[in-house]
Amino acid sequence: MGNNVELVVYGAEVLCPSCVNLPSSKEQYEWLQAAIGRKFGEEGVTFKYIDIYNPPAEEPYKDFAERVIEEDMFYPVVLIDEEIVGEGNPRLKTVYKALESRGLEPQG
């Protein structure tokens, strides 16, 4: 396949105020990882989880984590190759479409 897509989930252990009845950011990250693995296989996507209150010092992760807090984004915020594809309650259909637009193909 050759192309590797980076999927980054920004979230926190504490649920965002508007996300009270939703799973935690970490649970949604694990759910996305499993669902994407089933549909596209284990190759081609690199997953990363960033705690917005304790981000790594490296860029662009630190800057975007600060942006999530400053702009009061609903988390988890899902980025694929630095494009926001989900916020608060990410939709699988939207995430799948973004992956397919980057050349990933569903496994038979």
Q: State pLDDT tens for residues 54-70.
A: 999 999 999 999 999 99
**Mean pLDDT along residues 97-108:** 92
Is the separation of the CB atoms in 75 and 16 below 8 Å?
Answer: yes
Residue 95 structure tokens: 């995430």
- Residue 24: φ, ψ to 5°: -65, 165
Per-residue model confidence (pLDDT) at position 14: 80
Helix, coil or strand: residue 28? helix
Is the separation of the CB atoms in 79 and 73 below 8 Å?
Answer: no
pLDDT digits (tens, 9 = 90+) for 27-64: 999 999 999 999 999 899 999 999 999 999 999 999 99
Please give the DSSP secondary-structure letter assigned to residue 32: H
**Mean pLDDT along residues 67-80:** 94
Does residue 9 carry a pLDDT above 50?
Answer: yes
pLDDT category of residue 1 using cuts at 50, 70 and 90: very low
pTM of the model: 0.92
Task: Burial-class residue 72 by CB neighbours within 10 Å (0-12, 13-18, 19+).
Answer: exposed
Assign domain 5-42+51-101 to its CATH architecture.
3-Layer(aba) Sandwich (3.40)
Between 102 and 89, the more confident residue is 102
